[in-house]
Chain A
Amino acid sequence: MPTAKAPTSLRRLFDEIGTVDQVGIEERVAKYTTRSLKKKSKVFGLRLAVSMVDLTTLEGKDTPGKVASLCQKALRPHDIGDIPSTAAVCVYPSMVRHARKHVGGTQVKIASVATAFPSGQSPLKTRLAEVHAAVNDGADEIDMVINRGAFLSGEYGRMQDEIASVVEACGTATLKVILEVSELETYDNIRAASFLAMRVIRPGDFIKTSTGKTSSNATLGNNQVMLEAIRDHFLATGIPIAMKPAGGIRTAKQALHFLIAVKETLGDEWLNNRRYRFGASALLNDLVRQLEKERTGAYQAPWNFSEATEGY
């Protein structure tokens, strides 16, 4: 089922979309880290970040009990103060029905990884069946992985067609397309893969950096490449694509740097959880800790914050 005209070579695609200079883009993102947020602007950023978290547990040892506590944490990240709930919980397909019991009908969405996460090395039929199962169990959002093998061996059409099939399988569920940037390695590849994906997904669907299961995950650099791809795609087509960096964002300070990148690259319309998410687990408690510090003027002891997840 070919859906978009796939380029026959990356070179041809770059002629159209342009390339990325590694040194230049890393210099650009270094400037985000020198922004200094104080007082109200800091609280605004921290609260925004909380509302954008896809609170995640993706482990072999996940149990219904663990997912229950994750859901409670997502709904109410802290027992005092008026800290917003997170955007979603993100779990394996087998845990979707358990999550549904706790967050179904609330504003916290259920996201499920699918398509033989994290490697994607299963027959397409199996991967699509997994998507169907997760959606049928009540997943609002599906996080799929792209076929990196297809991309790296030059089968761009196949990579795009597979994404298009998943879009179809999603029905009304939002799709997040994980590029697994560390396996694509270069910024040029990340830009190319972003465009290939964006051309077959729907307005409001996401592109996402990583599974969190490889050695390197979301960085300001690959986040910037993808934000610029989203911007260029939007300006060319009017189609707004959303973005989700995932993995490796553990501190509030990091999250704020990512949000400043959004503010200065895509502008105000992307500063909400329909257009930007963080895939994270340890991040949430650091955001809460910083918000509590802003509220009370002092850092609270770590045991004052409920644990619901371990980091990934």
Chain B
Amino acid sequence: MPKTLPKPNPARELVFGELWEFDPAPETADPKLKKRYDLFINGSFVAPKKGKYFPTINPAHETKIADIALADAADVNSACIAAQKAFVSVWGKMPGKERGKYLYRIARLLQDRAREFAIAETLDGGKPIKESRDFDVPMAAAHFFYHAGWADKLEHLAPGRQVAPHGVVGQVIPWNFPLLMLAWKIAPALAAGNCVVLKPAETTSITALKFGEICQEAGLPNGVVNIVSGAAETGAAVMQHPLTTKVAFTGSTEVGKSIMRSLAGTDKKMSMELGGKAANIVFDDAPLDQAVEGIVNGIFFNQGHVCCAGSRLLVQESIADTVLAKLKRRIAVLRVGDPMDKNTDLGAINSREQLTKITDLVQSGVEDGAEKYDTGCKLPAKGFFFRPTIFTNVSMSHRIAREEIFGPVLSILTFRTPEEAVEKANNTPYGLSAGVWTDKGSRILKMSTQLKAGVVWANTYNKFDPTSPFGGFKESGFGREGGKQGLLDYLRVV
């Protein structure tokens, strides 16, 4: 039987067309949302004293989801007083073993309600359901489990010394991983014996306030956790309140600096986890397909709303064209669209404000002379969306190579020698994270000591674990979160 041989294809390009389109696969479970969310103070949900609320919207449809209470200084004051009372009367003197039980209970309740929380997170924040389901919520639970184990072993953190909690801790978290950042903050604080006043980001308050329900369900003593929603003034009130002896902030370097200025002269202990402009360095001996996968994870995970995003790709000049071609082929199959669709890889940009910022910076890249490439994929008519974008011909002086874009935008630079790679990678005010891709083990070790970054990933990117400390060098902040080091930041060594 003669067979027709497929002809060699001189065009030599792959076709990622519409032969097999996926039908919508929406997540449809009920996120159990309320129409209105009050403040969580002293174990119950209370209306703000001035009675003010602000709307929170779904960034994928630009529709209102709920009204969120706006806490002012007076509300923050009640929260801090409740926290102080809980610290003095119950939590601060409770044996670690008992505190651990509450943390285990919270972790399990988060797992029980994982689906509901994942959907709420995606509705409010715009991230793909696949990420909130497979990363944010399980990782948040993992942080509570991990720190639950520490609660009765605190004396091992500083051998030969005594440790004691600070008391009331004020915490302000960002909108990129709302529930996970809450877990990073609250779990170690509670394990150490502190009580908490936490302000979630203005655009993503829902899962934090839902977490209040979990605290109630877990029977956590009143006032141990207090959630005050609001905008910048609310955050400032939390940070500056006289009862907070330790403050922890995750967010932009700009806001971090202003917090530090406002707290100068106080004896509040601080930890700051700020911006980043990480370099992902690919050597010519790296396994390239996996490097490309890591580059994609590094910059397009959570639409690039990641402080440790690998936003600068440093690739060895000899393989730059190969890597770029592979990268283009890879992002051709990324799916941008409805965050609630289980097949969506890139969801919605968190807010109109952020979308404008990304658009402006991309425009500046074009004006500076860098070469822009995007997939040209269709975007939904409504909502805040941005295509995965790659810039080539970027030089170190371009704004897109210096400023944190916090969006799905990758700047590609090249290098010739390892020394040049290190120099370029470190040539930034930030120092949160870096990636190294090479088959050569010794080079990984050497690079990791030379790169001024809090986290250096080798042949992988964006890997997190509760046991691993995370934090920055230089303007990326100070203090660590996760692991033994992170927990120690919530204790006084006496």
- Interface size class, chain B: 35 or more
Query: Count of chain A residues with Cβ under 8 Å from any Cβ of B?
Result: 47
C-alpha gap A20/B439 in the complex (Å): 9
Contact between A140 and B1, CB atoms less than 8 A apart: yes
Nearest chain B CB to A256 CB, angstrom units = 10
Within 8 A of B (CB), among A125-167: 140
Highest count of chain B CB atoms <10 Å: which of A21, A38, A39, A263 = A21
Contact segment of B254-262, B285-293, B480-488? B285-293
Q: B30 in the interface, Cβ–Cβ < 8 Å? A: no
Q: Which residue of B lies closest to A234 (CB)?
A: B12
Q: B62 in the interface, Cβ–Cβ < 8 Å? A: no
C-alpha gap A202/B7 in the complex (Å): 10
Contact between B460 and A24, CB atoms less than 8 A apart: yes
C-alpha gap A237/B9 in the complex (Å): 9
Contact between B6 and A275, CB atoms less than 8 A apart: yes
7 A-B pairs with C-beta separation under 8 A:
A24-B293, A27-B293, A36-B22, A38-B25, A45-B20, A263-B20, A268-B20
Q: Which residues of B contact A (CB under 8 A)?
A: 1-3, 5-10, 12-25, 130, 134, 287-291, 293-294, 333, 342-343, 439, 459-460
Whether A238 contacts B6 in the complex (CB less than 8 A), given A23-B460, A35-B22, A38-B24, comes out as: no
Q: Which residue of B lies closest to A263 (CB)?
A: B20
Contact between A40 and B290, CB atoms less than 8 A apart: no
Q: Mark A178-209 against chain B: 1 for CB-CB distance below 8 A, else 0.
A: 00000000000000000000000011100000
Contact between B439 and A19, CB atoms less than 8 A apart: yes
C-alpha gap A145/B15 in the complex (Å): 31
Q: A13 in the interface, Cβ–Cβ < 8 Å? A: no
C-alpha gap A19/B12 in the complex (Å): 22
Q: Mark A233-255 against chain B: 1 for CB-CB distance below 8 A, else 0.
A: 01111111000000000000000
Whether A237 contacts B287 in the complex (CB less than 8 A), given A172-B1, A269-B15, comes out as: no
Nearest chain A CB to B411 CB, angstrom units = 22
Leading 4 A-B pairs by shortest Cβ distance: A24-B290, A36-B25, A267-B14, A36-B342
DSSP class of B's interface residues: helix, strand, loop or mixed?
Answer: loop
Contact between A269 and B14, CB atoms less than 8 A apart: yes
C-alpha gap A20/B9 in the complex (Å): 26
Q: A116 in the interface, Cβ–Cβ < 8 Å? A: no
Nearest chain A CB to B300 CB, angstrom units = 12
Q: Mark A220-242 against chain B: 1 for CB-CB distance below 8 A, else 0.
A: 00000000100100111111100
Q: A28 in the interface, Cβ–Cβ < 8 Å? A: yes
Nearest chain A CB to B407 CB, angstrom units = 22
CB neighbours (8 Å) of A263 from chain B are 16, 20, 333
Contact between A237 and B8, CB atoms less than 8 A apart: yes
Among A27, A37, A41, A140, contact of B3 (Cβ-Cβ < 8 Å): A140
C-alpha gap A128/B182 in the complex (Å): 67
What 7 new A-B contacts, CB under 8 Å, besides A24-B287, A28-B289, A240-B6?
A21-B287, A27-B293, A109-B1, A202-B5, A203-B6, A234-B9, A264-B16
Q: A18 in the interface, Cβ–Cβ < 8 Å? A: yes
Contact between B23 and A41, CB atoms less than 8 A apart: yes
Q: A34 in the interface, Cβ–Cβ < 8 Å? A: yes
Q: Which residue of B lies closest to A240 (CB)?
A: B6
Q: Which residue of A lies closest to B459 (CB)?
A: A21
C-alpha gap A286/B66 in the complex (Å): 45
Contact between A25 and B22, CB atoms less than 8 A apart: no
CB neighbours (8 Å) of A228 from chain B are 289
Highest count of chain A CB atoms <10 Å: which of B19, B24, B294 = B19
